[in-house]
Structures are given as structure tokens and as C-alpha cells.
Chain A
Amino acid sequence: MPKFEVDPAVHRGLADARLNVEIDNGDMILNLGPQHPATHGTLRLVVRLDGERVVASDVVIGYMHRGYEKLTEYRTYPQITTLINRIDWLSSFANEVPFVHAAEQLMGIEAPPRAEYIRTALTELSRIATFLLFLGEMGLQVGAITPAFYGFRDREYVLNAIESATGGRFHPNFNRIGGLKDDLPWGWIAETRESMRKVLKSCDEFEDLVVSNPIFQKRTRGIGIIPAELGASYGVSGSNLRASGVDWDLRRDGKPYLVYNDLDWKVWTHSDGDSFARYWVRLQETRESARMVLQLLDVMPSGPVMTKVPKIIKVPEGEVWVNTENPLGEMGYYVISKGATGPFRVKIRTASLSNVSIAPWLLRGVYLPDIITVLASLYFILGDIDK
């Protein structure tokens, strides 16, 4: 009830001030995103703050929803591999694998051994690329700039290897139903071996620079603890769940896929379940992946990379669920086919969606900087949430 005339501009200013500071109830609503440096894209977090402490938070997603599940209904199988490349854009190759496997399983064909070995190697390479970015990014999010540059620098070696094999740094679209587009280029194995040595060295560097840093430990230990049972019921998967002490890796524990059973490797877990544990687990997994690639390079069989498939791919009627251990967690496609050249329905299960859905639970009562730590350590890719 203004008793005097107020200039509209002043009035608006007052309203803004109220909105901005909300002196009334002592709480402040802070809008993190959709454009915020810590949200890797367009995640929006609405946080109610009491001082610096989070009272409640809500995650708003969908700013980048591209409707892939609808689009798959209008595409043929070979066209879809291009599409799903863009889901988790950091590890595109790993996205293709489960879908191509789904189509192959429905058709009853198998890719030749060499193709499966190359697929495994490239999947692990994309895992390394994704994790190297994480290892740097996480440092950046807690305030250390240098690791981010190291992460980007060393990821480049891996991307070069992916590029020289597939022709694309980010979106290889290299998988074909029944095999691969091409064989490896000459000299790839030697070069990749060299890159893996660099990756292993860079992991040591991250261990020195970040993991052993007392401030980093202070910032991440005990922050955002995911209890194992709760995490699983939220659908949290991958390294995030393994950091909570759940010894579950689909490469080993899922339906056998690719050639992981032929390799000598180990699943890393950490019992703490906090942000530090998630960093630590990913660091170890980067090393493990590099070692796996080195093994694969040693035992790569010879032979064709493509099996015989009809010119026009029609997938027989049926439905199949294929899930794989992607860098961000469990990625799966539930493909329902009705015998046409394209799928009838593809349900895409992305890791980040479930991983981030636990964020409001994790963020209750933490301080503002911890929001960033928790989000960074959950490690999501917006394309993987918004699909």
C-alpha cells in the first residue's frame, strides 16, 4: 500500500533488492546456473541458503534436452549411432558400443575378434580421456587452476590416438553393426603405447599435485558422502558407487561384453564414499584403463574388422537390454525392434541422470563451496543428463 507516488523504476529497484537479498526470512535463494562455470553446461541448481549453508536445493535440468528417444524412432540403426555419439560427448565411442551390441545381439551376429579388441581399446581410451578431464576439472572446481591445464594437455594425447584411429576427436561414429568402419592405421599401436606411458606419468603427477595436497583433502574428505545402499537405490553407478565401497563393475559383473574377461585388471573401490574417494577411485581407474590398453595392444589379434552384414540392416523383432560400464557409470539401451530398419522404441539409460538425482539429498546442510565439490566429484556431462 504505497501512500506516496513511487517512480516505477525505483519500485522495480526495490523489488529487485528484496528478491536479491530476501532480508525477510534470513534465507537467500541462490540460482546456480543454468550458466555457471561449475555446472559444465546448463545444469541449474536452485539453492536456499542460510548464510553459506544450504538449507534445501533443487536441480533443474532439461535446458539441453534434445529428445533422442523420440529421434531414434525416426532413424535407422546406422543413423542412430551418429546420434547417440552426442549423449555423453566426452566418451562418445563408449556410447556407441552398447547400442551396436544391442543391434548385433538381436540380429544374432558377432563382430570379429579384432573388432572387439579395437572396440575395447577405444572404449578404454575414451574412459581415460573422460577421466583425465575430470582429474583436472575437479582441481579447478576446488580452486587449483593448474591441474585443469594438465588434464587438458594429457587428454590431448589420448584424443590424438582416438582421432588417428577413427578420424574424429570427439564423435568418432566408428562402430558399425557387425564391426568397425576401418582397421587401425599403420603405427597406431606404437604411438598409443607411448601415449599410455604419458598417461601413467600424468596420473602420478595428479597424485602429487592434487591427491596428496592437504588443502584438497581438507576440501573433499567427508564432503558429500553417499551411503552405498542409498546410492544404489538412487541408481548411482560407476565410479561414484565404487567410491562408496560397492565392488560392482559391469565390465566384470555385467553380461560379458567386449574382451574384458581376457584382460588382467582390477576393480578399484574406496570405502569412504566422499568426494575424495570418488576422485581417488577415478584416478586409479585411469591408471587401470591405461594398463588395460597396453595389454590390448600387446595381444591384438589379426583378422577382419567387419563381419558379413546385409546391405540394408533390418533388425529382427525382439527386445534387448544392453548395459555397459561407461566412464560416467551404467549406460544402457533397451531396444525394442519390430523387424524394421529402425528401432520401435529405444529407452536410453544414462548414467549422469541417476548420478545427479542424488544431489539434492547430498547437498542438505553443506556449505556453498561444497556444492561445487560435490557436483564436480559426481562428475556429470550435461548431454548425459539431458539426452
Chain B
Amino acid sequence: MSENTEVEVGATMSPENLELLGRVSAALGAEAIIESAQAVGDLVVRVANASWREAAKACRGALGFNYLSFIGGIDWMPAPVVGGEAGDTSSPVQPAEQTYGAAGSAGRFQVFARVASTSVPRSGLTLKVDLDEESPAVDSWVSIYPGADWHERETWEMLGIGFNGHPSLRHLYLPAEFEGNPLRKDFPLLAREVKPWPGLVNVEPMPGEDVEEEAE
């Protein structure tokens, strides 16, 4: 199963998704769509940064996606290797080269969102948008989907992605004085740096063993 690493980007789309893609490009304009793909049955559309707010308007308006599921961000930078020696499978070892998922990406940061319709069964659309690597920012969706407020605040604090036009971009989860953006791949998980994950073998000494080790 592990050989099957082919991404589903090139796979032929289901007729429903093709139809949806047609509607999306009709509502948004074909030039706003950079790429589209199907990820396990779901349509993923990557739109231009400048059309992000237009995309939301089209979703809520013409496409009838009245429900905002989430907004989040992705940092495509290769993950730091956290596993132990070779052969230790207790921690994931991600590939070292920078690759992008469904519908691709222009750079390290992406914002993605999921919208759906509450009146049409099995409806939904994943939208992705490329960001500038130096100062990642994109238009805010709050004026279109009020629920975007908290999601954008979270994305801002976790990945350092700005949202233009957001009414009050302040910390949501983290304390106000927190520095850094924890979900960026270059933000170390300190607990793991200090002590490797025990993994397959329970290397944590039991209370009794602790004494013996000290004695040695």
C-alpha cells in the first residue's frame, strides 16, 4: 500500500465535481482559478490571492454554499525530522523535499477553507489560496461569513498569516504576549526536542528501575 504514493491531482474527476467546477468557474471567472483537483471525492480549487474574497462571495451567493466549515492554514515547508535512529518508526519521518498537496501551491504558505451547503446533500468545496512567503496575507472573509472571525484569528496566531480587513486580529487560543507561530514547521515542539517520544519501546523507567539506573 505504501507504494501507492500517486497524488490524486491528475486523476479524472467525478462528473459531480466536474459539474461543480464548471459552476465555480462560471461564478468566479476562469482566470481566478489557478488549479483544481479532486482529493478523495472532494473538489479542491486553488484560487488567486486577489480573488479570495470574491471566491467567498461567489460561494455564499451564486454557488449556494451558505455554511462555513472552517478556515485554516498550511505550512508546506518540510517537517523537521523528529524520529530517532534509522528503523525507528515511533515518530513520523516526513520527506525532506518541499512538495504540495492537491491542487498544488506557489509557495510555502497556503490558506484553505471548506464551505458547504445545508440544503444540498453531499455538497461542499475546498478552496485554497497561495500566499506571499515573506509576508503572508490574504483578504478576510469575516464580512461574508461571520463565522470566519475565530478561524482567521486562529490561523493568524498559529501560522502568522495576516487577514486584510479582519475587524480585530488578536490572539484566540494563545496568551496575548505569546511570541512565534506554533504551527509553522520551523517552530520547534520543545517538549519533543528535550525528550524524544518513547515510541514503540517503553523507555520510560518504571519507578523501581529509576533507582537502579541511578545506582549504575
Does B162 interact with chain A (Cβ within 8 Å)? no
Does B160 interact with chain A (Cβ within 8 Å)? no
CA distance A42 to B102 in the complex (A): 38
Number of chain A residues close to chain B: CB under 8 A: 62
**Contact residues in A for B183 (Cβ distance below 8 Å):** 69-70
**Contact residues in B for A318 (Cβ distance below 8 Å):** 7-8, 39-40, 101-102
CB pair A108 B4 closer than 8 Å: yes
**Contact residues in A for B164 (Cβ distance below 8 Å):** none
- Show 15 A/B contacts (Cβ-Cβ < 8 Å), sorted by A: A62-B173, A62-B175, A74-B197, A76-B89, A106-B40, A228-B118, A233-B66, A317-B7, A317-B99, A319-B102, A334-B126, A341-B92, A349-B114, A354-B147, A386-B173
**Chain A residue nearest to B93 in the complex (CB):** A340
CA distance A340 to B88 in the complex (A): 13
CB pair A233 B146 closer than 8 Å: yes
CA distance A314 to B4 in the complex (A): 10
CB pair A314 B1 closer than 8 Å: yes
Within 8 A of B (CB), among A195-241: 228-230, 232-237, 241
CA distance A314 to B94 in the complex (A): 11
**Contact residues in A for B182 (Cβ distance below 8 Å):** 67, 70
CB pair A75 B92 closer than 8 Å: yes
Query: In whole Å, how far is A38's beta carbon from the nearest beta carbon of chain B?
Result: 21
Is the interface on chain B under 10, 10 to 19, 20 to 34, or 35 or more residues?
35 or more
**Chain B residue nearest to A341 in the complex (CB):** B92
Binds A, one of B18-26, B67-75, B201-209: B67-75
**Chain A residues within CB distance 8 Å of chain B:** 61-62, 65, 67, 69-71, 73-76, 105-109, 228-230, 232-237, 241, 246, 248, 252-255, 310, 312, 314, 316-321, 323, 330, 332, 334, 336, 338-345, 347, 349, 353-354, 357-358, 361, 386
**Contact residues in A for B185 (Cβ distance below 8 Å):** 73
**Contact residues in B for A248 (Cβ distance below 8 Å):** 67, 118-119
Query: In whole Å, how far is A84's beta carbon from the nearest beta carbon of chain B?
Result: 16
**Chain B residues within CB distance 8 Å of chain A:** 1-2, 4-8, 39-42, 44, 60, 66-70, 72, 74-75, 79, 82, 89-95, 99, 101-102, 112, 114, 118-119, 121-122, 124, 126, 144-147, 149-151, 158, 171-175, 182-183, 185, 187, 189, 192, 197
CA distance A241 to B189 in the complex (A): 37
Given A229-B66, A323-B69, A336-B74, A316 and B150 contact (CB-CB distance below 8 Å): no
CB pair A241 B4 closer than 8 Å: no
**Chain A residue nearest to B66 in the complex (CB):** A232
Instruction: List the 9 closest A-B pairs by CB distance, nearest first.
Output: A342-B92, A62-B173, A235-B147, A234-B147, A253-B121, A65-B173, A248-B118, A347-B72, A320-B40
Q: Which of A235, A237, A254, A340 contacts B122 (CB 8 A)?
A: A254
Q: Which of B40, B72, B189 contacts A74 (CB 8 A)?
A: B189
**Contact residues in A for B8 (Cβ distance below 8 Å):** 318
CA distance A319 to B147 in the complex (A): 24
**Chain A residue nearest to B83 in the complex (CB):** A341
Q: Which of A232, A252, A321, A343 contacts B114 (CB 8 A)?
A: A321
Residue among A236, A248, A323, A334 with max Cβ neighbours from chain B (10 Å): A334
Query: In whole Å, how far is A241's beta carbon from the nearest beta carbon of chain B?
Result: 7
**Contact residues in B for A228 (Cβ distance below 8 Å):** 118
**Contact residues in A for B5 (Cβ distance below 8 Å):** 316-317, 339
**Contact residues in A for B197 (Cβ distance below 8 Å):** 74-75
Q: Which of B1, B146, B187 contacts A108 (CB 8 A)?
A: B1
CB pair B94 A334 closer than 8 Å: no
**Contact residues in A for B75 (Cβ distance below 8 Å):** 345
**Contact residues in A for B91 (Cβ distance below 8 Å):** 74-76, 341-342
**Contact residues in B for A235 (Cβ distance below 8 Å):** 67-70, 145, 147, 151
CA distance A106 to B42 in the complex (A): 13
Q: Which of A233, A252, A336 contacts B147 (CB 8 A)?
A: A233
**Chain B residue nearest to A346 in the complex (CB):** B72
CA distance A70 to B6 in the complex (A): 26
